Amino acid sequence: MTATTLAEPDVHAVLGELDRDLVALAPVKARVREIAALLTIDRLREAEGLTATRPTLHMSFTGNPGTGKTTVALRMAQVLHRLGYVQTPRVVSVTRDDLVGQYVGHTAPKTTEVLKRAYGGVLFIDEAYYLHRPANERDYGQEAVEVLLGAMEAERDRLVVILAGYREPMEAFFRANPGMGSRVAHHVDFPDYDVDELVAIARLMVSQRDYVLDADAEDALVAYVERRRARPRFANARSIRNAIDRARLRQAARLFDAPGPPSRTDLMTLEARDLLASSVFA
């Protein structure tokens, strides 16, 4: 049995973890599975002496905040590592501030240093479109783009770059930098969650933290999600995580002020009042 066939169950395990960790996102999961399948079959072809050229692996993840882009990047790094396309499952996550310098001659070495840290793994650049600011003549972001372009081509055997951000600004970024767009083989769009999916995410988060919702809290959770989703600065799963954390704070304060020590059930149970105290119900 070859090392490649040994890796297959590992890859299926990573995909299974992705299914468990992320609610919904069926198109994203399907695309990740397709990429994993292509890479697995290429490794099997290589083991049989068939032509198997290394595919271009740089990716673009587009979508609103809290839709799972970072989580999928971490899982993708694990898939790439287990199939031997990167040396380590490490993801180096950066933004413009990590790449662009403040003065002439500062950007290239700064970007190069980030690349050195990412070699052998995955470089995840969040809000990548901020690298391009054509309205500012003294901006050095384009220099970072040029250094990245060179590394994405010359070092593609030891580096995978994932560019992430809102869909429309990312499309404008690729139009302004066609060389970057031509080096990105996989464009994955992350849709927003609907109310039912957000409620399912909240229940999963509650369960993972060893909490339970009583019957009234279940109703309060649905009401909270419906209201919060319609308010400004909503960030999908990120906003839901923050809501659960605040409910835990209110539960802790409630138990702390109670006259006697809490029982195990008390410690585990989130009640409706822990959610209804949110400002979305004001």
pLDDT digits (tens, 9 = 90+) for 27-63: 999 999 999 999 999 989 999 999 878 889 999 999 9
Start and end residues for every CATH 1.10.8.60 domain found in the chain: 195-281
Domain 3-190 coded CATH 3.90.1150.10:
no
**Exposure class string for 137-166: b at 16+ Cβ within 10 A, else e:** eebbbbbbbbbbbebbeeebeebbbbbbbe
Q: Identify the helix (H) or strand (E) that includes residue 267.
A: helix 264-268
The listed CATH number (3.30.1490.190, 1.10.8.60, 3.30.1370.100, 3.30.950.10) that belongs to domain 195-281: 1.10.8.60
Instruction: Report pLDDT digits (tens) over 104-132.
Output: 889 999 999 999 999 999 999 999 999 98
Contacts 24+ apart (CB under 8 A), 25-32: 25/67, 25/68, 25/190, 25/191, 27/189, 27/191, 28/68, 28/72, 28/188, 28/189, 28/190, 28/191, 31/186, 31/188, 32/72, 32/75, 32/76, 32/79, 32/188
Token output for 259: 């006259």
Work out the number of other CB atoms within 10 angstroms of the CB of residue 32. Answer: 22
206: helix, coil or strand? helix
Q: What is the pLDDT of residue 188?
A: 97
Start and end residues for every CATH 3.40.50.300 domain found in the chain: 3-190
Q: Give the pLDDT band (50/70/90) at residue 9.
A: low
Q: How far apart are CA 215 and CA 223, in angstroms?
A: 13
Report the predicted TM-score, pTM, of the whole model to 2 decimal places: 0.90
Q: What is the pLDDT of residue 168?
A: 97
